[in-house]
Amino acid sequence: MKLIVGLGNPGNKYKNTRHNAGWLLVDGLAKLNLPGVELFKPQKFMNRSGQEVKQWLKNRKGPTLPYLYVCHDDLDIPLGKFKLNFGKGPLV
């Protein structure tokens, strides 16, 4: 099992902007009905989403999720490119 969390910001101001890249990715993945993958879009602003993800995981029923992927925009990376980080957060 895998959890993919798409970060974004609520409100029309951010709809379909780079700030909602994580939400847009999760929306696209939801259409694929991927087996063994759970998707989650926190509804708080990106910088406040950690507590919501923590609470979601705490309340979740089912098998352990050994893999957690967090998808978000990064202004240091050119649009259309991506990077993968393993076992660390952005400030480590």
Q: Which two tokens stand for residue 23?
A: 């939400």
**Residue closest to 86 by CA, chosen among 72, 73, 67:** 67
Active-site entry in 5, 19, 20, 72: 19
Q: How far apart are the first and last CA of the chain?
A: 26
User: Would you call 72 a catalytic residue per the annotation?
Assistant: no
Q: Cite the active site residues.
A: 19
